[in-house]
Amino acid sequence: MKKYSFNLIFMLCLCYGTSLSQTKTSAGFIPGSAPVGFESEINAFLRNDSASFPPPGGYLFTGSSTIRKWENLAADFSEITVIRRGFGGSTQEALNYYINDIVLPYKPRTIVVYEGDNDLVSGITPGGFVALCDTFIQRVHGRLPGTMIYFVSVKPSFTRKQYLPVQHETNRLLKKLARNRRKTKFIDITPLMYDTKGNLRKDLFEADSLHINNECYAIWAIRMKRVMGIAK
C-alpha cells in the first residue's frame, strides 16, 4: 500500500513537472516555423521583453515595415511612452496570429496599427483585409476593453501605383469599420502624401519609392498626434 502511494505521488509530480514545462514553452519563444512566418522577428521581440519588459499603459505601434523602419518614432512622439513592434513584410493575418506575443501582454492604453500594403499585394480583397482588422479589434477588446485602437490608412507609393484603386476601397471600408466600433478610430494619412497639384510627393520616399523617409514620418506624426489628442 505504501509502495502504491509512493508511485502515485511520483507519477503526479512527474505529470505536474511536464505540464509546467509545456506551459513555459508555450509562453516563451516561438518554436520552429510559424504558419505565417516572421518567427525570428517575433523571437527577437520576446528576447528584448525578457530582458526589459515595457511598462503597462504605453502606446503600442505595430504592423509592417512602415512601423519597423520608423526609427525616430520615440522622438516624433516624445510626449508619450512608445513601444515599437513592427516586423517587415507582415500582414494583418500575421499580426492577428502573434497578438498574444507582441500585443496583449503589454496591456497598452493605445494601439496604432499599420498594415495593408502587403495584404493587398498578396491578393487579399479589401473586404477580407478589413474583416481581419475587425478580428483584431474583437480580440483586443475581449481582453483589454479600455484600450484605444487606431488604424492608419494604407499609404500610396510609386512602386505600387497599380494598387491605388484597391487601396482607396480598403481605406474606405476601414474608415467605415472604425466608425462602427467602439474605441476605434481611423487616421487618414493619404492626403499628406500629395502636393497641392495632386501629385504623389517623390521627396517623401526612400530610393526604393516604396518606403517613406524621416521627413514623411515627421509629417505623419503631426497628423496622428492631432487625431489621437496628444498635446505637445
Stretch 156-168: mean pLDDT: 97
Averaged pLDDT of the chain: 90
Closest by Cα among 53, 7, 5, 6 to 27:
53
The pLDDT tens digits for 146-161 are 999 999 999 999 999 9
Q: What is the pTM of this model?
A: 0.87
How much is the pLDDT for 32? Answer: 87
- The CA–CA distances, whole Å, from 228 to 41, 84, 181 equal 28, 17, 16
Cα separation, 221 vs 69, whole angstroms = 14
With beta carbons less than 8 A apart as the criterion, state whether 182 and 145 touch: no
Cα separation, 81 vs 75, whole angstroms = 10
Give all domains of the chain, ordered by start, each with its CATH number: 57-228 (3.40.50.1110)
How much is the pLDDT for 28? Answer: 77
